[in-house]
Structure 1
Amino acid sequence: MLVLRKSLGLSLDDLLAVVREFTHPTISRAALHRMLKRHGVSAREALSVDRPRTKPLKAYEPGFVHIDVKYLPQMADETTRRYLPVCGH
């Protein structure tokens, strides 16, 4: 549990779902929080998890639309990749 918290920086609720699924199905959220607090990893801000920084969108003149294409994961039963256009103004 501590390794997941330190290496991935999972939130309390995400960590609780993983712990309940794979190691301890009856653990309570409060018990998990107490354990994280006892080991000094209850605050995610204190963890040094390297996450890629996102850069702000470029400021375009009025009239332009910024469009990104995000490719979705291909499922086993699909033959082509799907994508999701993301637009900003």
Structure 2
Amino acid sequence: MLTETGTLLRSDVEGTMAALALRYGGPFYRSFAELTRVVDLPAARVVVDVAAGNGALLSRVLHDWDDERCHTILTTTTARCRPVRVSS
């Protein structure tokens, strides 16, 4: 028996999210796992989570550090953030 949320993973129901779950659970997610191996993040001055702005990239970046280091990174990042004005 599936919960209401679990039912969304079935491919034979209306409003299914099965394909999306496979995409995020497959190569897309693995690409984030490789991020710290292929990018020298400590040397980076700016890291931007452009995609959907949901923090997925940031969560992968912070994943390998302990809470104290993550707090330092987020505090420093927040202090350096400046509002961006988007003109229409």
TM-score range, shorter-chain basis?
Answer: under 0.3
Bigger Rg, which one = 1
Q: Which has the higher contact order (CA 8 A, sep 6+)?
A: 1
More helix by share: 2
